[in-house]
Structure 1
Amino acid sequence: MPRLTPQVDKWLLRLRRAVDALKPKAANTDQKTVFWDAYKSLADEHDKEFQQRYSMDLDTSLIFAGLFSAVDSAFVIQIQQEIQPHNTLPIIVVAQSLLYISLGSTLLAALLAVFGKQWLMYYSAAEERGTMETRGLERQRKLDGLRKWRFNTLMQMFPFLLQLGLLLFATGLSVYLWTVHLSLAIIVLSFTSFAVGSYVCLLISTVISPESPFQTPLTPFVARLLPTTLWMGLKDSLSRAATHRSGRFVQRTPLACPPWIQASPGILPDISPEATWLPRELDSFKMFTAEFPQPSPEVPAVSWVLETSTDPYMVTIAAEMAVTLQWPSTMDLRPQLTRLRDSILGCFDCTPLGNSIFRLNGIRDGMSRRATHLGRAYCALRCVHQSLEADHDLIPKISSLRFVGLDPELANVLQILEVKPDVYVSSDAPLAAKWALHVIPVACRRYEDSEAKLRALEYFLHQFDGEIPNLDPSSFADYLFCVNSFLSATRDRDMVWMDKG
């Protein structure tokens, strides 16, 4: 048999790898493994773009700093000859001082750019040992450190220092030329004034309109000090007032539905300050004597995926993971709730009726399970958001639809989104029952009428009567907490508590 050449062996190896890649892979049932696989793909894509963007910016800053410092040094040396120990003109001293400060800011920017290169290498350095989960947690820890220590703000300082150095150089040169020749000084000063005026106009355009492409390093700082102009503030106020009036009602199509998922008209989720009001004596009452549990280590990674990912598959995996985690009681989850709201709406055929008003005409094909996972995550994170002393009008609002043939688990999700605890429980879905027990206390706050609350309690006890023997200690503690939420007010912080057992 003739022996194959190395080139043919290489082709065959590539062909074998391609065939193996096309083979269907076995489904992975481990929820954590599935999430960390998706997380790694998203993180690699994000980090590649992150490294490329900042590396190019740092390279540009280093090249500009090198060229500019050479030009600045030449003028410093030229003017240095005119400085004497005594009888030196003050204007010469001022010009030389400005040039020295300009050179110093440029060299400082170059030094920080070199440090920035090292910081990027530290961020991209991967651990050689550990599981995929361990590496993912380490990577998320580094990313959280970048956000906590304002890495992006510091990186914006490099071009700002270079621009400041250029301004000081032009000012110092204009001052020096004033002693040499008046015409030269006027020409340089005119160009400097024109450049400064153009820069200010670009800065104003970016503050007024976020869509402006003329972004500058000062834009984020000025936008924080002056978030909007007077007329834009008035426009936003009128827009919020119109949304507040028109966003409280949503048109819905009355269709037949199973008896356990009947709902009254309303917008989702309809949470008002009156519904979440607690008596003062409850502030000093603590149902749990132990310290609040530590958040799950996966919380930052899941939160980041929900906030940044645009892949529906990854958002669904993160949503499925979010339901099982212990979230901190002081975490602002507006971006995550907004992303989940938009993803839930994407599972239905929606007809826009106005500002933040939609009519859901039906579930899309193959979207039932995805809508269920997204809705569960939305309700679970809403429990966390409820614990914040925030304006409840800022909680994202969505609309729901009831129709024949709806999956029972999705019907339960829509019931909880409607802020009603009338859920249907089946022994075939223990995870769904555990989730429902965790989020029902939020829905209990909807009932202000004691008779309606007692009827809801009776329905709740009837639904879970057959499930009590199958509940684990943690779920049984949730069951008792739900019963207590029907009978008395509950603390927001206690609702966030996952393992109440």
Structure 2
Amino acid sequence: DYEDKYPEDPIYEETAPTARVWRTYLNESQKFDADRVGDWRETVDVLLVFAGLFSAVVSAFAVQFSQNLQPDYNQISAYLLFELVSIQQAISNGTSANPPLSSAVNPTANFTPATSIVWVNGLWFTSLSLSLSAALISVLVKQWLHHYVILPSGTPRERSRIRQYRYMGLHKWQVPLIIGLLPMLMHLALAFFFVGLVVFL
């Protein structure tokens, strides 16, 4: 009970800088903030770890598969080498050489990747972007929460006012809503990745 915990204020000093009302407010707000910010921190920590691991997995897939967006120069080199050997064999045997290279193995021909390859790359890079965005926002939220709970030194009235301004700012900037949307961002990233995986398979 605050009446037992804090001594009664002298008359006409109920709102003085060290009055009981400010100390009670700080005590109650610290309890409120400890529960609420603790829950938010746990949520953000879990999301941050998951986003980091998921981003690593998606980036490994995306980097390997994005190579399919350009011609396979190793395969073209093998075809060209085969053609060269075939021509040399034809010349040594005195027979006519094979017709010139088709555009499929011509390194100067325009290369167009398959539509499924373009879609898979688009889906996976979108997934990676969403996952990295969730990680970035999680780090920002952790910084906001860290600065929110640390109050500077001063009188109880000054600290109460600062805490109230920060509380109002937290809601003005929609931080609870942002924290609530972070899991949705990761769900979208997972959905894009799995759709890309289905198209890939």
Unaligned runs of 5+ in 1: 1-22, 178-501
Quote the Cα distance in structure 2 between the aligned partners of 1:102 and 1:132.
47
Matched, 1:142 2:123: no
One-letter code aligned to 2:60:
A
Q: 1:260-305 deviations in whole A, cap 9, x for unaligned?
A: xxxxxxxxxxxxxxxxxxxxxxxxxxxxxxxxxxxxxxxxxxxxxx
Quote the Cα distance in structure 2 between the aligned partners of 1:52 and 1:144.
18
Shift in Å, 1:149: 1.5
Counterpart residue number, 1:174: 198
One-letter code aligned to 1:106:
S
Judging changes above 3 Å, is the alpha-carbon distance between structure 1 residues 61 and 73 closer, same or farther for their aligned structure 2 residues? same
| Residue pair 2:141, 2:175 contacting (<8 A) in 1 also | no
Judging changes above 3 Å, is the alpha-carbon distance between structure 1 residues 145 and 25 closer, same or farther for their aligned structure 2 residues? closer
Shift in Å, 1:87: 2.4
Judging changes above 3 Å, is the alpha-carbon distance between structure 1 residues 68 and 47 closer, same or farther for their aligned structure 2 residues? same
Quote the Cα distance in structure 2 between the aligned partners of 1:25 and 1:53.
29
One-letter code aligned to 2:39:
R
Counterpart residue number, 2:60: 74
Quote the Cα distance in structure 2 between the aligned partners of 1:43 and 1:34.
14
Judging changes above 3 Å, is the alpha-carbon distance between structure 1 residues 140 and 25 closer, same or farther for their aligned structure 2 residues? closer
One-letter code aligned to 2:124:
L
Matched, 1:31 2:14: yes
1:394-473 equivalent positions in 2, closer than 5 A: none
Matched, 1:132 2:165: no
1:482-501 equivalent positions in 2, closer than 5 A: none
| Equivalent position to 2:139, from 100, 105, 114 | 114
Shift in Å, 1:24: 8.6
Quote the Cα distance in structure 2 between the aligned partners of 1:90 and 1:139.
55
Shift in Å, 1:156: 1.9
1:223-242 equivalent positions in 2, closer than 5 A: none
Quote the Cα distance in structure 2 between the aligned partners of 1:78 and 1:139.
49
Q: What is the CA RMSD across the aligned residues, in angstroms?
A: 1.8
Aligned length: 154
Q: 1:234-283 deviations in whole A, cap 9, x for unaligned?
A: xxxxxxxxxxxxxxxxxxxxxxxxxxxxxxxxxxxxxxxxxxxxxxxxxx
| Equivalent position to 1:153, from 140, 161, 177 | 177
Secondary structure of the equivalent of 1:31? coil
Quote the Cα distance in structure 1 between the aligned partners of 2:194 and 2:22.
53
Higher alpha-carbon deviation: 150-159 or 27-36? 27-36
Quote the Cα distance in structure 1 between the aligned partners of 2:23 and 2:136.
38
Judging changes above 3 Å, is the alpha-carbon distance between structure 1 residues 57 and 25 closer, same or farther for their aligned structure 2 residues? closer
TM-score, structure 2 length as denominator? 0.71
Shift in Å, 1:25: 6.7
Q: 1:429-463 deviations in whole A, cap 9, x for unaligned?
A: xxxxxxxxxxxxxxxxxxxxxxxxxxxxxxxxxxx
Judging changes above 3 Å, is the alpha-carbon distance between structure 1 residues 125 and 25 closer, same or farther for their aligned structure 2 residues? closer
Secondary structure of the equivalent of 2:68? coil
Shift in Å, 1:70: 1.7
Counterpart residue number, 1:54: 40
Judging changes above 3 Å, is the alpha-carbon distance between structure 1 residues 111 and 171 closer, same or farther for their aligned structure 2 residues? same
Q: 1:106-151 deviations in whole A, cap 9, x for unaligned?
A: 01111111111111111122112x3111110111001001111111
TM-score, structure 1 length as denominator? 0.30
Matched, 1:96 2:113: no
Quote the Cα distance in structure 2 between the aligned partners of 1:40 and 1:88.
63
> Between Structure 1 and Structure 2, which shows a larger proportion of helix residues?
2
* Identity within the alignment, %: 34
1:376-387 equivalent positions in 2, closer than 5 A: none
One-letter code aligned to 1:64:
F
| Equivalent position to 1:45, from 28, 31, 46 | 31
Q: 1:397-453 deviations in whole A, cap 9, x for unaligned?
A: xxxxxxxxxxxxxxxxxxxxxxxxxxxxxxxxxxxxxxxxxxxxxxxxxxxxxxxxx
| Residue pair 2:7, 2:20 contacting (<8 A) in 1 also | no
Quote the Cα distance in structure 2 between the aligned partners of 1:27 and 1:110.
48
Secondary structure of the equivalent of 1:81? helix
Q: Which gives a bigger RCO, structure 1 or 2 (Cα 8 Å, sep 6+)?
A: 2
Shift in Å, 1:74: 2.2
Q: After TM superposition, what 4+ stretches of structure 1 lie above 4 angstroms from structure 2? A: 23-26
Quote the Cα distance in structure 1 between the aligned partners of 2:5 and 2:118.
76
Judging changes above 3 Å, is the alpha-carbon distance between structure 1 residues 90 and 35 closer, same or farther for their aligned structure 2 residues? same
Shift in Å, 1:77: 2.6
